[in-house]
Amino acid sequence: MSLSKSQTTKGIWLARCAGIEPCTLVMDLEGTDGRERGEDDTAFEKQSALFALGV
């Protein structure tokens, strides 16, 4: 059995928690150190960080 690092979240997932006041959001952002997007692809990292700050 070989263990290796792999990407679990792809993109951004957002959910609203029902029954919790005040409104609570759960955000799961794709990791920024994954090899799947490549070492040089910082555009998605910057865009997802800006989106998370905006929410």
2-32 confidence digits (pLDDT tens): 666 666 677 888 999 999 899 999 998 876 6
- pLDDT above 80 for 40: no
pLDDT beyond 60 at 34: no
What CA–CA distances, in Å, run from 17 to 20, 21, 25? 6, 9, 6
pLDDT at 25: 92
Report field, pTM of the whole predicted structure over 0.75: no
